Structure 1
């Protein structure tokens, strides 16, 4: 007599379905959730592809072309553009164009390093002041954020008036410094104007991080005998590090593509303040679009490399990957305990 076999999905004597079927169902549910999430995000991906992906690819393509020169076989002037490959990129590192590139590269890096460091220090100090429970705190916060609300072009015009030969800066210093002339003083003028305008941005994000710190932590530290400096170094800085890292990253990306402030404050074609963005604009203004897009592409790669290095070194959790990993690690021990209990 043959013994009947039970179906694969028949319940066990304990009333439970086999574990293999439960895992398969959970995997299928996870795949369905991912497909549904991709469906909801598809309009966003489409917009990003149109406004970000296509311009980047079009710029890289344009950087491999240059205006056609010379005469054809019939003696007519050649019109249009011709494919030159990587010649536009190699030409950036040699001759006069190479000197202009390295000068703009140094200015861009110098402005970014100097301005971001000063903005971070001043921004944290502003956040600590705005966080204090003092009378008129709302007025203090509003006044601190005024420079950030001023448009950059208006800020450049304001500081150009301050740095005039008969302006406020020279009146205070009792000197006659040509701040807007081509020289070392123009670098300081750009840095001063940039730090004045954008320090409140870092201060605002640092203030948001300060407001998330419980006061009980500081009270416990004071009970243990920690002074103000120890509280700042051991409690404040570590706890506002995520917000501060994101603020510094945003400011670094913004300063690397600096154009409008030195353009309005000092002017175009000034070697002392010429950045990569200004150099690309100058080439495009002279109808050399291939060389201009080559500058823009190199600047794009430079910004991407620095942003990646900063995220890896500083550990800035920009996309929330660390939080997701921690949540997954917390859930896995709970699953293990449930499996052991069953």
Structure 2
């Protein structure tokens, strides 16, 4: 008994030593990971942080060319929100949110359908997934030029439909052209994110529902849609952030004409075309604030509720 007691006592410092070594390794790995991330943080600070701060500071100064800029405080912001330039600003806000709302609805519906098809088991599924992602892989500027040729009055769109529409010649045809091009370009991205969510749904859940007599639509509404909702919300959030800063497609297709000037186009026009860096800095700051507030509201109103619904559903199932 005394030998066993001595052995058990000897094991205590050994176990403590192993825990200390494991804790030391974790601390070392944490410090090592931190120093690996530091270069990326510095690069992002220089590439992203400096331009943002510079634009914010410049927005507080005048746009005088003949003399040195003078400090004007929030005058550029007042001019954009309530002053002589408020009409252009609020028109561009409406156009931006219109494009965001329409394209997100269409891309989500099309992307969900594409993801459901690609999630099925059939021959050539891998090839189909690769082909579907081709539009997303094409640079936006290149896609915009291709669609501009297609929407030409003597282009392929009018040839296939037998119409004679001047797509970039008036308001609603111009907006329709931008929506079609953007939907073609970005639907595969939505489909890819939703497909990732579909992949983690256990097949046994659908098999059990089939045995219980649930139809295809019932399985989609009661099983697939609730379980894929987190991935769907993430996809919509990413697309929302991208749509609110839309620039390439309307800039190339219409040059912002025919009521297609988005916030990003307005910022570029004020800064480069009109040589108003102060006013352009104010517009860019306001654009950032609008995007931030919209994304925050989306997460608070939909994202948190979706997570709570998932947790509540899981608890209900365990009961």
Give the length in aligned residue pairs: 289
TM-score where L is the length of structure 1:
0.77
Deviations 1:48-106 (A, max 9, x none): 3333333222211111111337xxxxxxxx52211111100111134552111111110
Structure with the greater alpha carbon radius of gyration: 1
Of the three residues 101, 109, 118, the one matched with 1:130 is 118
Q: Name the structure with the higher helix share.
A: 2
In 1, the alpha carbon distance for the partners of 2:29 and 2:139 equals 42
In 1, the alpha carbon distance for the partners of 2:286 and 2:239 equals 19
Q: Which residue of 1 aligns with 2:51?
A: 55
Q: CA RMSD in A?
A: 2.9
Question: Is the CA contact 1:245–1:316 (under 8 Å) kept in the aligned structure 2?
Answer: no
Of the three residues 121, 130, 133, the one matched with 1:145 is 133
Q: Which residue of 1 aligns with 2:69?
A: 81
1:167, distance to aligned residue in structure 2 (A) = 1.6
In 2, the alpha carbon distance for the partners of 1:188 and 1:179 equals 8
In 1, the alpha carbon distance for the partners of 2:47 and 2:230 equals 29
1:145, distance to aligned residue in structure 2 (A) = 1.0
Any residues of structure 2 matched to 1:4-43 within 5 Å, and which? 36=31, 41-43=37-39
In 2, the alpha carbon distance for the partners of 1:151 and 1:231 equals 37
Question: Is the CA contact 2:169–2:258 (under 8 Å) kept in the aligned structure 1?
Answer: no
Matched, 1:92 2:83: no
Of the three residues 269, 272, 278, the one matched with 2:259 is 272
In 2, the alpha carbon distance for the partners of 1:34 and 1:109 equals 45
Any residues of structure 2 matched to 1:1-342 within 5 Å, and which? 36=31, 41-68=37-64, 79-94=67-82, 96-268=84-256, 270-285=257-272, 286-315=274-303
Question: Is the CA contact 1:67–1:79 (under 8 Å) kept in the aligned structure 2?
Answer: no
1:33, distance to aligned residue in structure 2 (A) = 9.0
| Partner secondary structure for residue 166 of structure 1 | coil
Structure 1 unaligned runs (5+)? 1-15, 17-24, 70-77, 327-342
1:273, distance to aligned residue in structure 2 (A) = 0.8
1:56/1:86 Cα in 2 relative to 1: closer, same or farther (>3 Å)? same
1:188, distance to aligned residue in structure 2 (A) = 0.6
Question: Is the CA contact 1:60–1:294 (under 8 Å) kept in the aligned structure 2?
Answer: yes
1:275, distance to aligned residue in structure 2 (A) = 0.3
Deviations 1:160-216 (A, max 9, x none): 111111122222333221111241110010000000010000101111111111111
| Partner secondary structure for residue 70 of structure 2 | strand
In 1, the alpha carbon distance for the partners of 2:46 and 2:217 equals 50
Question: Is the CA contact 1:246–1:316 (under 8 Å) kept in the aligned structure 2?
Answer: no
| Partner secondary structure for residue 62 of structure 2 | strand
TM-score where L is the length of structure 2:
0.82
| Partner secondary structure for residue 103 of structure 1 | helix
